[in-house]
Amino acid sequence: MSKYLDERYSSLAAYVPGEQPQDKKYIKLNTNESPYSPSKATLDAVNVGETELLRLYPDPDGKILTKKLADYYGVESKNVFLANGSDDILNFAFMAYCANGRKSYFADITYGFYSVFANLHNSDYTVIPLEEDFSIDAEKFCGVDGCVFIANPNAPTGLALSLSDVEKIVKSNPHNVVVIDEAYVDFGAESAVKLVDKYENLLVVQTFSKSRSMAGARLGFAIGNEEIIGDLHKLRYSTNPYNINRLTLAAGAATIDSQDYYDSNCKIIMETRAFVKEELEKLGFFVLPSKANFIFASSEDIDGGELYLKIKDKGVLIRHFTTERIKNFNRITIGTPEEMQIFIDKVKEILEEN
Ligand code: PMP
């Protein structure tokens, strides 16, 4: 840290992303990416012609992709906001609705970036503990006096709230924006997009990084009331109007055109998830019922941190968090059936070696 850094950032604890190691090839089950390649249509869209156009700025409004998403989700273009990954949108939401002492609320065990953004924007934030079983008690998020952030399904637990619980929270906070972060919704949870028409304070955030195999392209989107979307555009135009590059816009549009391919990948991932849960349970693990493309598991036979290190040594990367409440767990992304069979075999080996 230099002596020039503004004092208010000097104590900021930055977000620590999952490892992206370049030293050797791992079976990578640590950052919830899709194990499947983008569709042929998506790959074809990133072609020489499009690459030649890189000399020109992209459309700052991403009109083609915005319209495709609006049609796909049954809303209008004015209800759709695009950004450089959904992290970009969460940042704008904290900036717009929670900065400079304004209040925000999120769970103790949830996406780690919420507290980073809250600190970055100097939000007066309150952490609401999850229940003993890691579920969210919707009542505790009702009628609060600030903006609410809920990951649904939650990360890293994978547990999902019902749409009626989400609606209860949105309805009970009419004076504050409620952000439902649906990064993992396509793996079996219920989306709140259908509530956007009914509630002007609801902002639903999604991403192309997980179910749509585009983590490396950085593309997120939000759906909400026209005025909220307008707030986000204002902040985007005040920071970086060209925040989504031309190749990503083209890839995103082709992705929506080949949605069937992505839907079938999600189906395979959900089936693989059921297989992995069953296999881990046979080995004595406790596995939360996940609606995401990962599972969250612990064992009384091996410490979470130890399993993470030992399996890394055997070429499989999973995610371990040191937070007290979840330090015995690991979050394991669902890869291909072949990758997950190797994962299970390595877990068996480690338990036997112990
Ligand atoms: N929300 C949640 C709950 C996540 O786990 C992630 C992925 N780390 C994101 C948002 C951000 O995803 P992206 O910026 O790749 O869209």
The response to whether residue 156 sits with its C-beta less than 6 Å from ligand 1 reads no
Yes or no: say if 98 and 104 are a contact pair by the CB < 8 Å rule. yes
The mean pLDDT of the chain is: 97
Counting atoms of ligand 1 from 1, which one is nearest the CA of 87?
14
Yes or no: say if 221 and 196 are a contact pair by the CB < 8 Å rule. no
What's the pTM?
0.97
* pLDDT at res. 162: 98
Residue whose structure tokens are 């759906």: 223
As a whole number, mean pLDDT of residues 98-107 equals 98
* pLDDT at res. 39: 98
pLDDT above 70 covers a percentage of the chain that reads 100
Work out the pLDDT band at 23, boundaries 50, 70, 90. Answer: confident
As a whole number, mean pLDDT of residues 58-71 equals 98
pLDDT of 258-285, one tens digit each?
Answer: 999 999 999 999 999 999 999 999 999 9
**Given ligand 1 and candidates 16, 87, 182, which is best to mutate, with the most ligand atoms within 8 Å of its CB?**
87
* pLDDT at res. 145: 95
The response to whether residue 182 sits with its C-beta less than 6 Å from ligand 1 reads no
As a whole number, mean pLDDT of residues 212-240 equals 98
As a whole number, mean pLDDT of residues 333-354 equals 98
What is the rounded CA–CA span in Å between residue 341 and residue 318?
Answer: 14
Q: Cα(303) to centroid of ligand 1, in Å? A: 27
The response to whether residue 220 sits with its C-beta less than 6 Å from ligand 1 reads yes
Q: Cα(293) to centroid of ligand 1, in Å? A: 12
Strand partners, 333: 294
Would you say residue 24 has pLDDT above 90?
no
